Amino acid sequence: MVEQVKTGRVAILGAGNMGGTILAGLLRAGRAPADVVVSARRPERAAELKQRHGVEVLANVEAAAWGDTVLLAVKPRDIAGLLAEIGPALRPGTLVVSLAAGQTIAALEGGLPEGTPVIRVMPNTPSLVDQGMSVLSPGTHCLPEHTERAQDLLSSTGKVLQVPESYQDAVTAVSGSGPAYVFYVAEAMIEAGVLLGLPRPTATELVVQTLFGAATMLRQTGEHPSILREQVTSPGGTTAAAVRLLDDQRVRGAFMSAIEAACNRSAQLSQF
Ligand SMILES: NC(=O)C1=CN([C@@H]2O[C@H](COP(=O)(O)OP(=O)(O)OC[C@H]3O[C@@H](n4cnc5c(N)ncnc54)[C@H](O)[C@@H]3O)[C@@H](O)[C@H]2O)C=CC1
Ligand SMILES: O=C(O)[C@@H]1CCC=N1
């Protein structure tokens, strides 16, 4: 249990999609339920978490005072109120890790007692199946030990990368929102299969396995996607016909514009 010593006691504030995902991931990775607490606004949710995971559910202030690491997993609009609520209860040296999109380190540090070590993180939903991508940026009061703690905590649900905070809007657009683009492509491919007369379950199985296989090839071969695409594309064949149509429809450009729009939106959200 070397891991536990590094991260200490973890308090997760806000037990929605991401908070619940990280909680389940920590427990799957072998952390004892006694070393994690959560806060939940709705009593039904609190009862469910207690029953399913055997963890203690506390009020925000009690949870924040208990944790060595406090993970903020509420919506961005609820962050400022939460910081004001928990700030006075934090013990000196408590590490605050925020998952909130668009909430800058300056805003987080400004809402907490002077000197609080803060880490800004952009996770994504595949954390639910331990294939998450969490990207962190340490605040101005973080020591290497704090960053290590956050890395340790987040690595229980997937990969972790550290970047300068100036990259976080682009990161949000690429990997934070990224799973949604892949699900969008999956939907379109399934509908195409159905259009061509395949039963829906068959079309779904073909698409899910194809996406999984293609992603695994990218990971395992380390090849550039263009090379892998060329390998599928026979001269005068079916793939070339399809890819020409995608190019005619400017699908690559549409993806670039979409991801740029997400990045701009993330920057806009940081203003509030
Ligand atoms: N869903 C996603 O794909 C991603 C979400 N995020 C970030 O994670 C954070 C959480 O997002 P989700 O889990 O999707 O939202 P969610 O709405 O599922 O969960 C938020 C939870 O916080 C609770 N809550 C609200 N105010 C509270 C308070 N003052 N005290 C305690 N609990 C409170 C709500 O009842 C809810 O259960 C957001 O800041 C979001 O930007 C980051 C990356 C990806
Ligand atoms: O859509 C959003 O704003 C959040 C941030 C990244 C993924 N979901």
What distance in Å separates the CA atoms of residue 22 and residue 16, rounded to the nearest whole number?
10
Ligand 1 is surrounded, with C-beta below 6 A, by 13-19, 39, 41-42, 60, 73-76, 78, 81-82, 99-101, 122-125, 176
Confidence (pLDDT) at 272: 66
Confidence (pLDDT) at 110: 96
The alpha carbons of the chain give a radius of gyration, in whole angstroms, of: 21
Confidence (pLDDT) at 270: 80
CB 21 within 8 A of CB 128: yes
Residue 159 three-state SS: strand
Closest listed residue to residue 149, CA positions, set 195, 209, 102, 93: 93
ipTM of model: 0.96
Alpha-carbon distance values, 156 to 119, 123, 150, 151 (Å):
17, 12, 10, 9
Residue numbers in the known binding site for NADPH are 60
Same fold, 2-164 and 178-269: no
Q: Enter the tokens of residue 257.
A: 């514009």
Which of 177, 268, 269 most suits a substitution to test ligand 2, by most atoms within 8 Å of the C-beta?
A: 177
Q: Which CATH class is domain 2-164?
A: alpha beta
pTM of the model: 0.93
Distance in Å from the first CA to the final CA of the chain: 40
Confidence (pLDDT) at 6: 65
Domain layout of the chain by residue ranges: 2-164, 178-269
Assess if CATH 3.40.50.300 describes domain 178-269: no
What distance in Å separates the CA atoms of residue 30 and residue 8, rounded to the nearest whole number?
13
**Ligand 2 atom closest to 76 (CA):** 3
Host H or E run for residue 226: helix 225-232
Tens-digit pLDDT string for the chain (272 aa): 444 446 789 999 999 999 999 999 999 999 999 999 999 988 899 899 999 999 999 999 999 999 999 999 999 999 999 999 999 999 999 999 999 999 999 999 999 999 999 999 999 999 999 999 999 999 999 999 999 999 999 999 999 999 999 999 999 999 999 999 999 999 999 999 999 999 999 999 999 999 999 999 999 999 999 999 999 999 999 999 999 999 999 999 999 999 999 999 999 988 76
**What is the tally of helices (H) and strands (E) in the chain?**
13, 8
Tell me how crowded residue 68 is: count the other CB atoms within 10 A of its CB: 16
